[in-house]
């Protein structure tokens, strides 16, 4: 059983203040996720924003981050200063090309492995062959490549995210209240990148290969984890980084690095939907303050994440853990064989009734002495322990 402890009670429930923008001197971290997909919107002060990854609501063709920023009166084309693509999986890159278009003044950063010629060849190889079953992640990435290299106006340069690289360093605020903001990539390590490219070569499409979707390249230790500092506050974004126990990959490589940013974060976007393969216990000791807040997006496909064991584990590390939605497996693979056969014959696809994206929003001041975050839950978001009883 879970240890009895006081819950961190959100300040606002069910969207009562959902459309209110942050004050110019507030930090905001909003995690959006519908149970399949996620993105993070971060206000670093003075109306300037960072967006990490992309997802699309099932009822819309617009990226969730664009919808959210518009809803709170923010001009995405001017306000977003940095757009980061942490990796190429569907649940993190859907709508990325539209995000790139919408955030016209943003610097674009992608995982180092995605900017390599080997990956471009891999992606175009699956996308160009009409007999191949193309995964949406390949199509999306190719649309990003096209947007970056073609068009009537000069295109933005792409920065590569690799371990220890500073992606953004800026000062926000007025002359009387200036705040330093720095965004640093914590991964991938050199070995994770070279291993990814080697696995990529093994999956390169051949001429005779047909009707095969572009495979995921696993383990996902080339994903970009981020360290975001605003004033004296730090936020850790885990993306989908996995941990294999190898000292030169995943969280182990980060914790062992000699260029790891100093300090500890008090807010953690949990990696890989709270799965055990994204967990490293030393991370909570070395880079997160005791009782830090945490948030995750659930994974509603296959057997679903986080599992009950994952929830109990996370609850032991954080004083307040939150999920963007109460979603559970609803795919055909979780149904009896006779049901799966019928769905295939009828070309039907099951969809959850709860695929609208939920949001967990954190706000605070970089100068707030008590360090407290205002926590707001919208559209089905909840404490993670509520996932056990949903």
**What does the pLDDT look like over 149-181, one tens digit per residue?**
775 555 677 899 999 999 999 998 766 678 999
* 280 token code pair: 């490293």
For 12-366+373-388, the fitting CATH number among 1.10.540, 3.60.15, 2.40.170, 1.10.3110 is: 3.60.15
Q: Is residue 257 predicted with pLDDT exceeding 90?
A: yes
- The string of pLDDT tens digits covering residues 211-230 is 566 777 766 888 999 999 99
In whole angstroms, give the CA distance from residue 157 to residue 146: 13
Top pLDDT among 238 and 1 is at 238
In whole angstroms, give the CA distance from residue 18 to residue 12: 9
Confidence of residue 337 (pLDDT cuts 50, 70, 90): low
- The string of pLDDT tens digits covering residues 262-296 is 999 999 999 999 999 999 999 999 999 998 999 99
Confidence of residue 390 (pLDDT cuts 50, 70, 90): low
Top pLDDT among 15 and 341 is at 341
pLDDT at 133: 44
Closest CA to 97 of 54, 47, 128: 54
Distances from the Cα of 369 to the Cα of 171, 267, 296, 366, angstroms: 21, 16, 26, 9
Q: What angle do CA 306, 213, 202 make, to 5 degrees?
A: 95
Closest CA to 116 of 4, 200, 237: 200
CB under 8 Å, gap of 24 or more: what pairs does 63-66 form?
63/39, 63/94, 63/95, 63/96, 63/98, 63/99, 63/102, 64/32, 64/34, 64/37, 64/39, 64/95, 64/357, 65/32, 65/39, 65/41, 65/99, 66/98, 66/99, 66/102
Contact of 334 with 340, CB cutoff 8 Å: no
Rg (CA), the chain: 20
Q: Is residue 57 predicted with pLDDT exceeding 90?
A: no
Phi-psi region of 339 (alpha: psi -120 to 50; beta: other; left: phi over 0): alpha
């Amino acid at each position: 059983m879970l240890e009895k402890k006081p819950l961190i009670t959100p300040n606002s429930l069910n969207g009562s203040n959902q459309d209110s923008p942050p004050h110019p001197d507030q930090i905001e971290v909003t995690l959006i996720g519908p149970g399949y997909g996620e993105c993070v919107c971060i206000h670093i002060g003075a109306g300037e924003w960072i967006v990490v990854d992309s997802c699309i609501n099932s009822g819309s063709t617009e990226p969730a981050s664009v919808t959210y920023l518009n809803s709170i009166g923010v001009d995405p084309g001017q306000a977003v200063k940095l757009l980061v693509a942490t990796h190429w999986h569907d649940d993190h890159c859907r709508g990325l090309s539209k995000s790139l278009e919408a955030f016209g003044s943003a610097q674009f950063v992608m995982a180092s492995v995605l900017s390599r010629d080997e990956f471009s060849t891999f992606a175009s190889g699956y996308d160009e062959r009409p007999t191949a079953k193309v995964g949406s992640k390949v199509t999306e990435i190719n649309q990003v490549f096209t947007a970056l290299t073609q068009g009537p106006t000069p295109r933005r340069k792409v920065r590569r995210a690799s371990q220890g690289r500073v992606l953004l360093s800026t000062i926000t605020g007025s002359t009387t209240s200036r705040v330093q903001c720095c965004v640093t990539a914590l991964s991938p390590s050199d070995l994770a990148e070279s291993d990814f490219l080697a696995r990529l070569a093994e999956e390169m499409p051949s001429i005779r290969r047909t009707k095969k979707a572009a495979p995921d390249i696993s383990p996902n230790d080339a994903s970009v984890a981020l360290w975001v500092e605003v004033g004296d506050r730090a936020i850790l974004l885990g993306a989908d980084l996995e941990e294999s126990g190898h000292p030169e990959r995943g969280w182990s490589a980060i914790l062992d690095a000699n260029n790891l940013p100093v300090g500890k974060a008090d807010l953690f976007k949990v990696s890989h939907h709270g799965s055990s393969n994204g967990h490293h216990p030393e991370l909570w000791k070395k880079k997160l303050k005791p009782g830090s807040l945490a948030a995750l997006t659930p994974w509603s496909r296959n057997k679903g994440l986080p599992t009950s064991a994952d929830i109990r584990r996370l609850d032991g590390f954080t004083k307040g853990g939150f999920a963007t939605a109460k979603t559970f497996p609803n795919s055909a693979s979780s149904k009896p064989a006779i049901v799966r056969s019928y769905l295939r014959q009828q070309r039907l696809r099951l969809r959850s009734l709860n695929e609208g994206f939920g949001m967990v929003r954190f706000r605070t001041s970089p100068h707030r002495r008590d360090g407290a975050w205002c926590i707001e839950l919208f559209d089905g978001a909840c404490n993670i322990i509520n996932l056990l009883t949903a």
